[in-house]
Chains A and B, each alone.
Chain A
Amino acid sequence: MKITKVAKAGTLESNDILIMVKPNEFGKTELELESIVMQQFGEVIEQVILHKVQEMGIEGISIKAQDKGALDYTIAARVETAISRAI
C-alpha cells in the first residue's frame, strides 16, 4: 500500500513522539530519527517504527520522528495513526 499525503501524529511532550510521514517518490522507506535517548534506545526505536511500517504493508514512505522518550507502544501507535491519516 502507498500513502498519498503528508500527515502527522503525536506531540513533543515528554514521553511522547511526533511522527511526520510523507510519500517517498523513489518508493523507498526512509527514516530520520531524533531522540533524547538516542544513545540508549535509538536502535530499538528505529526497529519499532520500521516494524510498524512493514506490518501495515506500506511502501514508499519518508518518516521524520522526533522522540521525547516515548515507550514502544506509544511509538507504534503514533506511527500507525500518522500512516492512517496519510493514506
Chain B
Amino acid sequence: MKTILGREIPDYIKGYGHVRPFQGAFSDVGVKTRTAVRLTSVIPNDQKVLPSLEDALDKLNINDGMTISFHHHLRNGDYVLNKVMERLAARGVKDLTVAASSIFPIHAPLVEHIESGVVTGLVTNYISGPVAEAVSKGKLKKPAIMQTHGGRARAIESGELHIDVAFLAAPTADTYGNVNGVYGDAACGSLGYAVADAEYADKTIAITDHLVPYPAYPIEINQVFIDYIVKIDSIGDPKGIVSGTTRITKDPVALIIAKRATEVIKASGLVREGMSFQTGAGGTSLAVAAELKKIMQHEGVVGSFASGGITGYLVEMLEEGLFRSLFDVQCFDLKAIESYRDNPTHQFMSASMYGNPHTKGAVVNNLDIIILGATEIDTDFNVNVTTGSNGVIMGGSGGHSDTAAGSKLAIVVTNLMKARLPIIKDKVITVTTPGESIDVVVTERGIAVNPKRADLLEKLKMTKLPLMTIEELKLLAEKITGVPKAVATSEKIVAVIEYRDGSVIDVVREVDSVS
C-alpha cells in the first residue's frame, strides 16, 4: 500500500495494527467525536493526598499491558518518569506502553525497561538520546508510535490513545489537585501538553514537590481531573528544565539565512496589522524573530499573537507592544515563565487548542507565519525532522506538521549542507511533514519556493533574493559535497510516523549500526 506521497507501507504492521495511509493534510476532517471518560466520583471528606508513591501505585493497580502517560514540560530535567518506571519495574509489571509527550536523554533508564520487557510500547512526539537509539536498533517489542503535538491530543480525545493512568509532574499542586507550573523549585511555566492526559486518563495522579494549601493559584489543570496527589522530594532538576537565557546565534551563515527568511516574509505581504508568528528556540529561528522585530518596528505594525513554545525573546516583543498576546503551550526559559505568570496577555494554550485538527479550530489555523527546521528536505518539499541522515531517530514532529498545515506561510530555514551532508535529497529517509504544507525553503546559498505557491513566487521575483528551483538547490549542494551513498536499513519497522490526523505518513526501519 502506498501513501499519497508514494511511500510504501504495509497494510498491517505487527504491534501497531491496520494502517490508514496518509491521503493529504486535510483529507480526514468533518464530523468527529470525543470519547467518553470513565471516572470515580469524589465525595466530601475523601482524601486525595496519599502518603507516598508506593501507596499511590497500590491504589492505582497498574497491570501488565496498561498504558501510562507522562508530559514533557520538565524536559531534560524530569525525574518523574524515571522514578515511576523504576517502582513499576520493581513491582514486576510487564508489557507497559509509555505514552510520554516527549522523551529526552535523561530518560536513558527507559532503555533497561525496554530490554527487560517492562516497557514494550512507546507513544511519543519526539525522542532524543539513548531511548531513540534503542528504538532505532529494534529493541522495543512493538514499533514506537510517533505523533505530532496536536495529533497526540487528538488521539487521546478521540479515544484512539487510551491512557489508563496519567502521571502528572506538577511544579505546584494543592491538596485537592489543582495544579500549576509557575511556582515551586521545578517551575516550568505552561503545562499545555499535560491537559489531554489529565482530562482523559482513567486515573490521573499529580506528583509534586511543592504541595500547597487549598486552593493553589493560578490553576492550570483543575481538581475535577485529579484522583490523587503525592508529594516527593524533587520532581526535576531546574537546570535541565529551562535554560537561563536563550541567545540569538552569532554564526554568520545562520544570520544570513535568518535575514533572507525575513525578506521572504516581508515580500509575502504578511507583515501587516494583526499578523501572527511562531518560531522555535533554535539560534536561527530566534534570529528570524530579531530581524522581523526590526521590520515590525520600522513599519509600525502590531501583530495579534505569537505562539508555541515561548522564549524570552518573544516576551520582549510582547512587552514592546509588537504583539497583543502570546499563546503559550510550553515555556523555554525563565523569562517566559515569569511573563506567563505575571502578564495576563501571555496566555495558556493546551496541546489540543494549539494543534488538534479535530477541534472547532486550533490556534495553528490562525497562524500567518511559521519558521521551521529540517534535517532533510526532498525535491517534493517533504521534510524529515524525525531521523538523522543516517536513518537513526533523533527527534520527531512536535508541532512541526501541525503548524506547517495551519499556517499561511511555512518557511523552512536550514543550512544547505551540514557537516558535508547535503540537506536536500531526492527522497528524505523519513517523511515527518508533507511537502504540501511547506511553502518555501531558505538556505544560505539560495531560496526555493514550492511550485504550488505560484503567487508567492511572483511576489519574490520582485525582490533581489537568490531564487532557484529545489532541484537546482540540490545540485548546488551536491557539487560541493558529492552525492551521498544511500543508508542501508533492514525491513523491520521500528517506528510508525502518524500524521496529525492519525493516518500513517511513513515508517522508520531498523538500522544496522548506530554511529
Contacts and interface: CB of A to CB of B under 8 A. Distances in A.
- Pair from one complex: yes
B419 A40 contact: no
Interface in A59-79: 68-72
Nearest to B420: A69
Contact of A41 (B484, B488, B515): B484
Contacts of B481: 41, 71
Contacts of A15: 419-420
A81 to B, nearest CB: 20
Contact of B484 (A14, A37, A70, A72): A37
A44 interface: yes
A44 B487 CA distance: 15
Given A14-B419, A69-B421, A40 B480 contact: no
Interface in B457-492: 480-482, 484-485, 487-488
B390 interface: yes
Interface string B67-79: 0000000000000
Size range of the chain A interface in the assembly: 10 to 19
B485 A39 contact: yes
Contacts of A69: 418-421
Interface string B391-426: 000000000000000000000000000111100000
B420 A41 contact: yes
Interface string B416-458: 0011110000000000000000000000000000000000000
A37 B487 contact: no
A16 B157 CA distance: 50
B389 interface: yes
Contacts of A36: 419, 515
A71 to B, nearest CB: 6
Nearest to A45: B420
B389, B419, B421, B488, most chain A CB atoms within 10 A: B419
B487 A70 contact: no
B515 A40 contact: no
Contacts of A14: 419
B390, B485, B513, most chain A CB atoms within 10 A: B485
B419 A41 contact: no
Contacts of B487: 39-40
Contacts of A39: 390, 485, 487-488, 513, 515
A79 B480 CA distance: 19
A72 B420 CA distance: 10
A50 interface: no
A71 B420 contact: yes
Nearest to B480: A71
Contacts of A68: 419
A7 interface: no
Contacts of A43: 485
A33 interface: no
Contact of A72 (B389, B419, B482): B482
A38 B515 contact: yes
A37 B480 contact: no
A41 B482 CA distance: 8
Contacts of A71: 420, 480-481
A14 B420 CA distance: 9
A71 B477 CA distance: 12
A41 B480 contact: no
Contacts of B389: 37, 40
A69 B480 CA distance: 12
Interface in B375-393: 389-390
Contacts of B485: 39-41, 43
Nearest to B482: A44
A41 B485 CA distance: 7
Contacts of A44: 482
Nearest to A36: B419
5 nearest A-B pairs in the assembled complex, by CB-CB distance = A69-B419, A40-B484, A69-B420, A37-B420, A40-B485
Interface of A: 14-15, 36-41, 43-44, 68-72
Given A37-B421, A41-B485, 4 more contacts: A39-B390, A40-B485, A44-B482, A69-B421
14 contacts: A15-B420, A37-B389, A37-B419, A38-B515, A39-B390, A39-B485, A39-B488, A40-B389, A40-B487, A41-B420, A43-B485, A69-B418, A71-B420, A71-B480
